Structure 1
C-alpha cells in the first residue's frame, strides 16, 4: 500500500489527540435558553418564573413546563420590546414597582419570623392575663303602648302572675312570643332609658314601667355576669396583624437609626408640584 495513503489520516489523528479535551459544562443561572432580537433569556429567568407559579402549575411535567415557560418569556419579551421607548412616567413607575417589590420581600421575611404560634399565644396572654370582664345582663320585658297598661301589668306581676306568660299575652314587641326574653347584652346595646333601668335591678326583680322611644316597658332581670375573655382563635388574626405591624415598625426604626437620610429642600419647590404630570412626560 502506498505510504501516501496512510500519512494524512495518521497526521489528522495525531492532531486530534493533541487537542485538549472539551471541559464538561454544567448549566447555571446565566445559561442562555433563548434570544429575542438579541435580548437574552436565561435559565435563571425560567427558574424564577417557575418558583412563583401557583400550586396547580407545579404539578406539570418538567419537560412540558420548561417549554411552556420559555415560550411565555419569549412572548413577554416580544411585547416588552414594544415599550423600548418608555416615557419617563413608565420608567419611573417601573422603578417604584421594583422598590415596592424589594420592600415586600423584606416585610414577608420579617412577618415570617415574628408571627409564630408562640408569639401569638404570648401576645394573647399579655393582653388578657388580667382581663376582668364587663357586666352583661340577661333580661326580659313586656312592651305596651301606654303607661296605664304597663302599670296594670306590673300590678299583676306583683300579685304573682307569670312574667313569660304575660309577655306572650300582652307584649307588642318582637320578643313577646318568646316570653319577652332578650338574651345577654352588654353596655350600649339597649337604648339609654332601658339600660339604666336594667342596671338598677337585682336578679329576678321587676321594674316599674319604663318609657322609651318604643313605648312602655316592664322589665325583669333574669341574671347578671361578667363577660369572658375572647377565645384565642377569635382574636388570632387581630393579634397577628398587631405583631406584623410591630415587627415592621421596629425594623424601620432600626434602619432609620442606621441610615443617612437626607431631605433636601430645593428652592421654589412647593407641595402642589406632586400634580405637575408634565414634568415627567416627554
Structure 2
C-alpha cells in the first residue's frame, strides 16, 4: 500500500474542508455513491473523499484512545485477558488512523485506497477492489499487512521512540497482534491461563513490568501504536468535526473517555456485584 510522503500528508490533512453533502457518510458509504474509483486533487470528489477519510481517521483515533484507557482500567486478574483484547483494538484503530492521515484506507482484502500519484500539485487516490497482495484473507490480517507495508516507505523518517516500535512487526510477523487476540478472545483455556499468570506474577511494586509474556508484548506494542497515532495527528494537524458539539478533541476525550464513571452508574455496578456470587 502506497502512502503519502510525510510533507505531502501534512498538506493533505491541512487541506481538510467541510463538505456538508457527505457529512453523514463513512468512507465505504461514500465510495458506494461513486461511479469512478480515481480521485484527483482539485475536484469535488477528492475533497469529499478527504473529508470522509479524515473524519474516519480522527474517529478511529478517539476509539483507540478509549480502548487503551479501558484496557488499563480493567487490569486485574479476572479480566486481564480482556485487557489484552482491548489493547489489541486500541492498536488496530490507531493503525487505521495513521493510514488515514497518509491518504490510505482499507476495510478488507478487496476494498482499499492507496496513493497513485503523490505529487503535491497533482495528488491522486485510487479505490481498489482487486485482491490486496497478502498471504492472508481475513480483514484484520490484511489490514496489518497493509499498515506495515505502508510504513516501510516512510520508515527512514519514523524515528521517535513510539514510531520505531509501531512500525516493526512483532517477532517479524505482521499478524502477531491479531493472532494473539484470537487466542484470548476465542479460547477459554488461553483466557483463563492469562488470568492465572497475571495473578501469579502480580507485583504492586513493579507495575506494569510484572505482566509477562504475550500480554506484556501486547501492552508495549499497543502503547507504541496509539502514541504514534497521537504523534501523527499532532504532526499533520488532524482536526475535523467528528467530536462535535464538544469544543475540541481534547474536550471530547476528557468528558467522554477519561472522566470518572458517573456516580449513578457506579452505584448500579456496585449493586449488581453481590448477585454475581453463587
TM interval, short-chain normalised:
under 0.3
Greater relative contact order (CA < 8 Å, ≥ 6 in sequence): 2
Larger Rg: 1
User: Which of the two has greater strand per residue?
Assistant: 1
- What's the TM-score, normalizing by structure 2? 0.19
- What's the TM-score, normalizing by structure 1? 0.19
